[in-house]
Amino acid sequence: MKIREYYLEAFPTDDLGDGINPKATFAGLLNQLIVGGDVYEYLYVYDSIIRERLFEKLAEELEVSYEYVYNLWLK
């Protein structure tokens, strides 16, 4: 599932979801975290609440803690 599709379904009242990169995937987000890419540029959205929600979903998909995903981002 594309990140934008997930986000719009999970958070239908958040208008910022429309701005998410329509091609972005959770696998691509994980890759950005691993290679030290700019998550905000990948998502096309510069909002920390959206980032946090997507990190939570990525953690759920990977069956790891939010802290694990967050720490990848901090590297």
Domain boundaries, the chain: 3-12+20-74
Per-residue pLDDT, 1: 81
* pLDDT tens-digit profile, the chain (75 residues): 899 999 999 999 999 999 999 999 999 999 999 999 999 999 999 999 999 999 999 999 999 999 999 999 998
User: For the whole model, what pTM was predicted?
Assistant: 0.95
- What does the H/E/C string look like for the chain? CEHHHHHHHHCCCCHHHHHCCCCCEHHHHHHHHHHCCCHHHHHCCCCHHHHHHHHHHHHHHHCCCHHHHHHHHHC
